[in-house]
């Protein structure tokens, strides 16, 4: 089964939903680094959340979900672009211990903050920041929607072994309650009964039937989600050039070669003195191109 996100809506009502189920994507993220169990679950949940959030936007670019703090888990970052390509990474601090597995979300990140960045290919970056003041990642993301005065939105997330899943419900703009004023609270209540195993394992049809068998649900086509890192030799060159020639020559003098490993996918990029000289002249391959 490939990873996917699938939209649905409730007939004649202003509420839509999304279901995401990830297995290969989560496996690809977790295979590249060794993480404690708690971090594995959080990475999975965050990956599912990033796909759900990206699906609510009409844009070309990336959505980046990032938590930073001073706790045992220092950073967690997931990026999902409009092609539904996902990459993710976490950094565990030296203060990590077995106990960290049981800390609250806020203690785990040491009173960290959750930043949601929308980075369109054209246009300006937008960033929203919320404190980690809910017990779950889903709860913190709901605060983000409340705080940024976006459409009323609820999120449910679950993580299993090398898998993650999630659901999102959102009231569409132009909400007209009509003769069904109760629909938004009712759908939230129904969805609150979802169990992690159901989110992770049930085929979407079955999941939606189990939750909403009294409602009229229309399911849209599924879209594939995959793990992909957008690092490249060209992008790495740009970062190196920004460090300046003197800095690069220092590293070359010390190490003979500049080795850069992408943290997201472990791809290695190697640059020797000739590469660096060409880079600084802006002449090597495609490296002179800025976009
Ligand atoms: Zn990479």
Model pLDDT for residues 172-216, shown as the tens digit of each residue = 887 665 667 789 999 999 999 999 999 999 999 999 999 999 999
Query: Ligand 1 centre from 1 Cα, in Å?
Result: 24
Q: What is the CATH number of domain 4-227?
A: 3.55.30.10
Residues with CB under 5 A from ligand 1 (ion): 229, 231, 262, 264-265, 267
Nearest to 90 by CA among 131, 41, 51: 41
Question: What is the structure's pLDDT at 185?
Answer: 94
- Fold exhibited by the domain 233-280: CBS domain Like (3.90.1280)
Q: Provide the pLDDT for residue 289.
A: 43
- Mind listing the pLDDT tens digit for each residue in 3-17? 999 999 999 889 999
CB 84 within 8 A of CB 71: no
Ligand 1 centroid–CA 107 distance in Å is 30
Q: Nearest-CA neighbor of 165 among 7, 15, 1, 26? A: 26
User: Angle CA(282)–CA(286)–CA(287) in degrees, nearest 5?
Assistant: 40
Cα(122) to ligand 1 centroid in Å equals: 22
Q: Ligand 1 centroid to 216 CA: how many Å?
A: 43
| CA 230 – ligand 1 centroid, Å | 6
Find the 236 Cα to ligand 1 centroid distance in Å.
10
Spacing, Cα 228 to ligand 1 middle (Å): 8
- Asked if residue 56 lies in contact with residue 73, where contact means CB atoms within 8 angstroms, the answer is no
232 Cα: distance to centroid of ligand 1 (angstroms): 7
Strands 15-22 and 61-68: unpaired
What is the domain partition of the chain in residue ranges? Answer: 4-227, 233-280
% residues pLDDT > 70 (the chain): 95
Give the pLDDT of residue 69. 87
Q: State in Å: Cα 90 to ligand 1 middle.
A: 14
Those residues with Cβ within 8 angstroms of residue 148's Cβ, 6 or more apart along the chain or in another chain: 128
* pLDDT for the residue numbered 150: 80
CA of 249 to the centre of ligand 1 (A): 24
CA of 85 to the centre of ligand 1 (A): 12
Give the model's pLDDT for residue 176.
Answer: 64
pLDDT for the residue numbered 179: 62
Q: How far is the CA of 93 from the centre of ligand 1 (A)?
A: 22
Output the CA 291–ligand 1 centroid distance in Å.
18
CA of 88 to the centre of ligand 1 (A): 10
Return the pLDDT at 1: 59
Q: Rounded to the nearest whole angstrom, what is the distance from the C-alpha of residue 119 to the centroid of ligand 1?
A: 18
| pLDDT of 288 above 50 | no
Question: What's the mean per-residue pLDDT of the chain?
Answer: 91
- Residue showing tokens 């003098």: 253
Q: Counting Cβ atoms within 10 Å, is residue 56 exposed (0-12), middle (13-18) or buried (19+)? A: middle
Across the range 241-265, mean pLDDT stands at: 93
Centre of ligand 1 from the C-alpha of residue 174, in Å = 41
Render pLDDT for 49-91 as a digit per residue (tens, 0 to 9).
Answer: 999 999 988 889 999 999 988 899 999 999 999 999 999 999 9
Do the beta carbons of residue 207 and residue 165 sit within 8 Å? no
User: How many Å lie between the centroid of ligand 1 and the Cα of residue 261?
Assistant: 8
Cα 231 to middle of ligand 1, angstroms: 4
How high is the pLDDT of residue 95? Answer: 87
DSSP annotation of 244 reads -
pLDDT band at 290 (very low <50, low <70, confident <90, very high): very low
Per-residue pLDDT, averaged over 283-288, amounts to 48
Q: How confident is the model at residue 218, as a pLDDT? A: 96
What is the pLDDT averaged over residues 262-289?
80
pLDDT in tens, 145-170: 988 878 899 999 999 999 999 999 99
pLDDT digits (tens, 9 = 90+) for 101-149: 899 999 999 888 999 999 999 999 999 999 898 999 999 999 999 888 7
Q: What is the mean pLDDT of residues 30-35?
A: 94
């Amino acid at each position: 089964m490939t990873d996917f996100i699938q939209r649905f809506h409730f007939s004649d009502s202003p509420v839509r939903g999304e279901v995401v189920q990830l297995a290969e994507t989560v496996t690809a993220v977790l295979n590249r680094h060794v993480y404690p169990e708690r971090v594995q679950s959080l990475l999975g949940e965050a990956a599912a959340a990033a796909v759900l959030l990206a699906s609510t936007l009409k844009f070309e670019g990336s959505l980046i979900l990032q938590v930073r703090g001073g706790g045992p888990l220092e950073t967690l970052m997931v990026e999902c672009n409009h092609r539904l390509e996902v990459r993710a990474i976490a950094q565990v601090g030296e203060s990590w211990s077995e106990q960290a597995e049981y800390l609250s979300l806020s203690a785990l990140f040491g009173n960290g903050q959750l930043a949601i960045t929308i980075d369109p290919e054209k246009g300006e970056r937008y960033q929203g920041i919320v404190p980690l003041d809910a017990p779950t990642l889903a709860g913190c993301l709901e605060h983000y929607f409340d705080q940024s005065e976006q459409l009323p939105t609820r999120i449910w997330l679950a993580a299993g072994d090398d898998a993650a899943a999630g659901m999102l419900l959102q009231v569409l703009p132009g909400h007209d309650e009509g003769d069904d004023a109760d629909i938004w609270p009712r759908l939230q209540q129904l969805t609150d009964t979802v169990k992690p195993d159901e989110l992770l394992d049930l085929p979407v049809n079955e999941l939606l039937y189990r939750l909403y068998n009294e409602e009229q649900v229309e399911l849209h086509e599924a879209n594939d989600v995959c793990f992909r890192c957008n690092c490249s030799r060209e992008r790495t060159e740009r970062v190196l050039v920004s460090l300046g020639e003197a800095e690069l020559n220092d590293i070359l003098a010390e190490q003979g070669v500049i080795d850069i490993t992408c943290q997201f996918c472990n791809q290695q990029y190697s640059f020797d003195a000739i590469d660096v000289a060409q880079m600084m002249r802006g002449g090597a391959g495609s490296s002179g191109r800025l976009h």
